Structure 1
């Protein structure tokens, strides 16, 4: 099966799912802002500012690997929580890169196993010099729970089209990671609510990125059967609320950021939580 790498557009033979290049939403350009109505311009300008202002500039390379909707959501995290959110998002992007670039399933499994081991290893036994590993120290005791995210990505190493059960396993991995996020940052929030938000986000996100039509249809079908009511999340989890809201808007197949309405929704959720 052929997949397309996000950096050079070259096709590689791989047993991984047939990935599209990273989803490119409508950009927050000056031309776009000018096309919006006056109230919408204000939201779009706030979105542009939010994506540019971050206190995580020392992690610029990790930030650059994130999809635009995640960078936008990250901007609405509380200052002390941004490193925790970035750790989750950057790990997810790293694991996606392993699956996307895999030529041989066994090699990909070995790389995924390395990450699983590092997440479980005590601080003194982890290799130095890996910025993502250092960033994940902000997860404290919940760091080991991120192994579920590794398991979810490993489920996607099969030959396309993947069975629905494997798509569900992937979504469950992100759900477990989001539940751990709630335990780490928002003890007053029910982890199951955070897990539901993560599961919903995962399926719509995956459906937007796979190129095999059967996998895309299966992902959207699974997403349609989920509970899409607004999750009851504390202020600490505002970025997750944004990603769930964008996924809710894109569950019909439009993608998570399909135009100006998506930008307005993200900013509204980020500022007001509604």
Structure 2
């Protein structure tokens, strides 16, 4: 896994999930998760809404440009270079965070944008973004926790299987702790469910 591209770090389960992606796709996952954390930090409650919009506008402007036009020196942008063909999905996450802050949709647009970003990540990994990927993403994000049973995801999407599985464990109130979480991640990583 590459060095962190921001002051924000992935959680231990997220770091382990990223490691279960094939090496060629780990940076895609890490960049996606770090971007969402960076945007969440920019849009956190208590900040001036105008300042939030200015911060988000900077990211929106970047994703409206090709990666060749992105400024140098921002490690997270460098990590997101492989997303060039799917920049619209990243822009959607920015728009979703803005809608959550200044809109009244309760985060619905952000949820849809995150699901679309996971589908874009699947396409970048050479996987069809089918209903199983969409459902797994929705369950991970807590959008549709009672959906139909998701089939085992392809190996390239193993991080999604882990993130989904851990979110469902938490939603079900299963006892956690570092050792139990590690064992659950190990099972999800090896079996995909």
Counterpart pick for 1:258 among 163, 176, 190: 176
Matches within 5 A, 1:1-274: 54=1, 56=2, 59-62=3-6, 65-100=9-44, 103-158=47-102, 165-187=105-127, 189-203=128-142, 223-224=144-145, 226-227=146-147, 229-252=149-172, 254=173, 258-259=176-177, 260-274=179-193
Q: Tell me, which stretches of 5 or more residues in structure 1 are unaligned?
A: 1-53, 204-221
Structure of higher CA gyration radius? 1
1:119, 1:144 within 8 Å by CA — same for their partners in 2? Answer: yes
CA 1:223 to 1:123, structure 2 compared with 1: closer, same or farther past 3 Å?
closer
Q: Provide the C-alpha distance between the structure 2 equivalents of 1:231 and 1:115, rounded to a whole number of angstroms.
A: 34
Q: Provide the C-alpha distance between the structure 2 equivalents of 1:124 and 1:190, rounded to a whole number of angstroms.
A: 27
Write the deviation string for residues 26-51 of structure 1: whole angstroms up to 9, x where unpaired. xxxxxxxxxxxxxxxxxxxxxxxxxx
2:8, 2:34 within 8 Å by CA — same for their partners in 1? Answer: no
Write the deviation string for residues 57-104 of structure 1: whole angstroms up to 9, x where unpaired. xx2354961122211111111111111111101101110110126521
1:179, 1:194 within 8 Å by CA — same for their partners in 2? Answer: yes
CA 1:198 to 1:142, structure 2 compared with 1: closer, same or farther past 3 Å?
same
Q: Provide the C-alpha distance between the structure 1 equivalents of 2:24 and 2:108, rounded to a whole number of angstroms.
A: 32
DSSP 3-state at the match of 1:88? helix
Q: Provide the C-alpha distance between the structure 2 equivalents of 1:268 and 1:239, rounded to a whole number of angstroms.
A: 12
Q: Provide the C-alpha distance between the structure 1 equivalents of 2:155 and 2:22, rounded to a whole number of angstroms.
A: 8
CA 1:112 to 1:150, structure 2 compared with 1: closer, same or farther past 3 Å?
same
Q: 1:138, CA displacement in angstroms?
A: 1.4
Q: Provide the C-alpha distance between the structure 2 equivalents of 1:241 and 1:71, rounded to a whole number of angstroms.
A: 14
Q: Provide the C-alpha distance between the structure 2 equivalents of 1:247 and 1:107, rounded to a whole number of angstroms.
A: 31
1:182, 1:191 within 8 Å by CA — same for their partners in 2? Answer: no
Q: 1:113, CA displacement in angstroms?
A: 1.7
Q: Provide the C-alpha distance between the structure 1 equivalents of 2:8 and 2:42, rounded to a whole number of angstroms.
A: 17
Of the structure 1 ranges 78-87 and 193-202, higher mean CA displacement relative to structure 2 is found in 193-202
Q: May I ask how many residue pairs the two structures share in their alignment?
A: 192
Q: Provide the C-alpha distance between the structure 2 equivalents of 1:250 and 1:193, rounded to a whole number of angstroms.
A: 21
